[in-house]
Structure 1
Amino acid sequence: MASQKLTLSVKPRGKPVKKLPEEVSLPTNGTASELYTQLATRAGTTVHRLRVTKGSDGAHIPNSKDLPLSTTGLREQSTIYVKDLGPQIAWRTVFLVEYLGPLLIHPALYLTLPYTSSSSSSTSGPSTLQTLTLTLILLHFLKRELETLFIHRFSSATMPLSNIFKNSAHYWLLSGLNMAYWIYLPSSPTSQPSNPYITYPGLLLFLIGEYGNLNAHLVLRNLRSSGGAERGIPKGWGFEMVTCPNYMFEAMAWGGIALVSWSFSTVVFAVVAVGQMGVWAGKKEERYRRDFGGRYKAKRSVMLPGIW
């Protein structure tokens, strides 16, 4: 017996999508992934540029091989709207590019700025604190690059191409040029002798923060199969205290760098980064509560215990 077909009416949302068919037919037991594949093939584009929503209520139909069309509420002759999201770029590529900025900028200014003063006190080159700060920053962003390559699993394959410029500006300018300039200047507080009562606690904060952040990323990685989009409830060190301990430990690591560098520019970047992570953590808590209901133990603090 031939499998039954589900025929859907297709309409563009926003600007027209070239070659978009007026209707598509799929097996009634087909998946959302098959719907995206057929639409992309017939429109001559990629599935990553398309966003499909239901005409009845505007609900998004995600591109998932694990989502049967029969569970989406679509019926024979239902209308779906297809939006062209524009040029896309892989999430992994964006992460690699944005973290590359500080990795290039900090060594470049470290090797030049300490020698820009004509005073004899600067002829000896970078101070111990400047060298230590450079080491911590390079370790931090090198760790991020390696996590991007070997640990992170993304629920979405791509993001709009324009995002690479916004994301890169945050890292290349704020944690790259701005931080490096003020840290490696001959007149920087970082050029002065270190205070062990400040430097050693900063180092301890950095080490705990980086280890905790890595551990949280490994927990999150193990919740999703390679190439999958499934979600789970994370458990483990830090996850019982806050929604996103990866952000909590990230904030801790940057607090450590700020203590070691003793530079206001590092504090500015840390405050901006923590603020953005707090917003993301709040949205993650809302998503956990919505997706898992009573199975999820709601958190009072999303990132900083008792504070945020």
Structure 2
Amino acid sequence: MASLNIEVFDAKSSKKSPILLENVATSDTVLSLKKQISSKNGLGVERLSIRLEARGKNVPDEKRISELELPPKNAQIYVRDLGPQIAWKTVFLLEYAGPLFVYPIFYLRPSFIYGADAASKPIHLAVTIALFAHSFHYLKRLYETHFVHRFSNGTMPFTNLFKNCSYYWGFAAFISYFINHPLYTAPALGSLQIYAGLAGFVLGELGNYSIHILLRDLRPPGTKERKIPYPNSNPLTILYNFTSCPNYTYEVLSWVSFTVLTQCLPAGLFTLAGFIQMKIWADGKHRNYKREFPNYPKNRTPIVPFLC
């Protein structure tokens, strides 16, 4: 069995003495390499990023040493400490649980927020429907995080927890404050606007869930296998004929519809912020699909059919 001696340099500081790994089997994986480095520098495996160049890209755990094309002599790699890590699933559960508890406070305890007289004010139908729609959305996200999603990466930087929670929890409070305010202005078109918004919201939620189920079934449990997604028998997955990330398309539809339903500017700002971020993610995934699969459908756009 072929083996190598590999010098492991710190990606941030080349002045540090390298770690020498002796007789590393070329059939071993990068994950196995991380475990050996971890035993020497004391850092957890999840904190380590293996690179072929100091500023290069992270090498996937499943790659074998032979695939790295290291020279038989003077083989060198770089390791970067990613800092304290936290499981993706934990972050998602916490960031989605916040809005589920924050938003109803303004509806159920208005006197705490708006003053003693607020509890006696009438509550518009749109306000009540918005409460159930918003709560359903985050209940669905919690359910999908626990039972549906299969994460390709196990962890993310611990600091992301505070950034993500601040975004979701903060926007939930911002939106809820205005929708549940005693001076809330009802939608201009009345019931027509409310129920049209609700119908769009339900369609977006069902479509988003359908795409997540399709993506789950596309990846066998415990693997990072990637395939080109195509529509299945569920008609809501037909968007895969037009976009690379229809789950984001449906997500945007849900929040556009929620904005129509509530006629609330903060909800519109949340929708815009979400669309900008999802467009960035969709562009990246679209490029990766085209790079990885030469036969990737050319008519697909990243997130908005026929446009972008």
Instruction: Return the alpha-carbon distance in structure 2 between the equivalents of residues 17 and 41 of structure 1.
Output: 21
Q: Cα distance, 1:17 vs. partner?
A: 12
1:177 aligns to what?
173
Shift of 1:306: 2.7
> 1:82 aligned to 2:41?
no
Question: Superposed, which structure 2 residues align to 1:216-227 within 5 Å?
Answer: 216-227=211-222
Moved more, 75-84 or 16-25: 16-25
- Which residue of the partner structure matches residue 232 of structure 1? 227
Deviations 1:139-159 (A, max 9, x none): 001100110001111111001
Change in Cα spacing, 1:106 to 1:22, as seen in structure 2 (3 Å) is same
SS at match of 2:218: coil
Q: CA deviation at 1:127?
A: 2.6
Asked whether the 8 Å contact 1:117–1:186 carries over to 2, the reply is: no
SS at match of 1:9: strand
Change (3 A) 1:87 1:129: same
Moved more, 71-80 or 141-150: 71-80
1:263-292 residue CA offsets vs partner (Å, 9 max, x unmatched): 111111001101110111011111111111
Give the RMSD, CA atoms, in angstroms: 2.4
TM-score, normalised relative to structure 2: 0.90
- Say if 1:181 and 1:17 are closer, same or farther in 2 by CA, change over 3 A: farther
Task: Report Cα offsets for 1:21-76 as digits up to 9, x if no partner.
Answer: 33343212222221122112222222210011114993532112xx2221221232
CA distance, structure 1, for counterparts of residue 119 and residue 27 of structure 2: 73
Local SS of the residue matching 1:79: strand
* Aligned position for 2:205: 210
Q: 1:106 to 1:71 in 2, by over 3 A?
A: same
Q: 1:56 touches 1:79 (CA, 8 Å); kept in 2?
A: no
Q: CA deviation at 1:298?
A: 2.8
Q: 1:17 to 1:155 in 2, by over 3 A?
A: farther
Distance 1:289 1:6 in 2: 35
Is the contact between residue 12 and residue 54 of structure 2 (CA under 8 Å) also seen in structure 1? no
Alignment of 1:25-104 (within 5 A): 25-55=23-53, 58-64=56-62, 67-76=63-72, 77-104=74-101
- The answer to whether the 8 Å contact 2:47/2:84 transfers is yes
Report what 2:193 is aligned to: 198
From the superposition, tell whether residues 17 and 127 of structure 1 become closer, same or farther in structure 2 (CA, over 3 Å): farther
Matched residues, percent identical? 33
Give the corresponding residue for 2:246. 245
Q: Does the alignment pair 1:291 with 2:292?
A: yes
- Which residue type is aligned with residue 154 of structure 2? A
* Contact 1:99–1:171 under 8 Å retained in 2: yes
Question: Deviations along 1:112-151, whole A, 9 cap, x unmatched?
Answer: 22784566x9615533221110000000011001100011
Q: 2:121·2:182 contact (CA, 8 Å) conserved in 1?
A: no
What 5-or-longer segments of structure 1 have no aligned partner? none
TM-score, L = length of structure 1 = 0.90
C-alpha distance in structure 2 between counterparts of 1:38 and 1:169, whole Å:
37
Structure 2 CA distance for partners of 1:229 and 1:20, relative to 1, 3 Å: farther
Deviations 1:68-113 (A, max 9, x none): 2212212323100000000001111111111111111111111122
CA contact (8 A) 1:8 1:79 kept: yes
Q: How many residues align?
A: 300
The residue type paired with residue 276 of structure 1 is Q
